[in-house]
Amino acid sequence: MGRLFIGIVKNGLFELLFPKPEYITLVRLTTTGVQDSVPPENGELNLVEYEKAVVAVKGHANGGWIYSASVVDTGEPIVTALVENVFGR
């Protein structure tokens, strides 16, 4: 079971808002596992349908990627605006 991440999709990348990122704020999402023998690009999720929306994702973060990623929820425009306001973006 993965960890929950909340962010906003901007230019096809996932801008991590929660938990507060230490170094990398823009990450890519992949369905491949951390220890899979294929590169993460092979399972990269196309986030175009979520552009400018807040998204909740479960997975495992490692080196600019969230592995074994699955989108568990998305927010409507009003929720996205509230999340941006709360996280100061």
Dump pLDDT digits (tens) for 44-85. 999 999 999 999 999 999 989 999 999 999 998 899 899 888
Instruction: Name the domain count of the chain.
Output: 1
Residue with tokens 């990122």: 21
Residue with tokens 């699955």: 70
Q: Residue 45: give the domain boundaries.
A: 3-86
- How does DSSP assign 29-66, residue by residue? EBSS-TT-SS-GGGGB---GGGBTSEEEEEEEEETTEE
- Mean pLDDT taken over the chain: 91
Query: What share of the chain in percent tops pLDDT 90?
Result: 71
Above 70 in pLDDT, residue 89?
no
pTM (predicted TM-score): 0.89
Dump pLDDT digits (tens) for 1-51. 689 999 999 999 999 999 987 777 899 999 999 999 999 999 999 999 999
